[in-house]
Amino acid sequence: MSRVLERVHKHRAKLRAEGMQPIQIWVPDTRRSGFAEECRRQSLVVKQDPHEKELLNFLDDAADREGWEA
C-alpha cells in the first residue's frame, strides 16, 4: 500500500474511532452546460407563486438568528 493510502486509511480509522461515519452526497454539477439557465427557469416558475412566498416567509420567521450580526 502506498504511503498516501496508508495515511488516508489511518485518518479514516481515527475518525471512525471517534464515532464519525463517512457519507457520499451527490450534488448538481454547476459547471454543466445549461445549469444556470435551468436555475433561472425554475426561479421564474416560483417567483410569483403565493405558496413559495408563504414558505419563504415561514422559513424567515422560523430562522434562528440569535448571535448573528446584521
29, 35 in Cβ contact below 8 A? yes
Residue 70 has pLDDT above 80, yes or no: no
Residue partners of 28: CB distance under 8 A and separation at least 6 = 35
Q: Give the per-residue pLDDT at 22.
A: 94
Residue 57 has pLDDT above 70, yes or no: yes
C-alpha cell at 2: 502506498
* pTM > 0.85: no
For residue 56, CA distances in Å to 28, 50, 59, 64 come to 22, 10, 5, 14
Q: Give the per-residue pLDDT at 9.
A: 95
Hunting for cell 502506498 — which residue is that? 2
Residue 1 has pLDDT above 80, yes or no: no
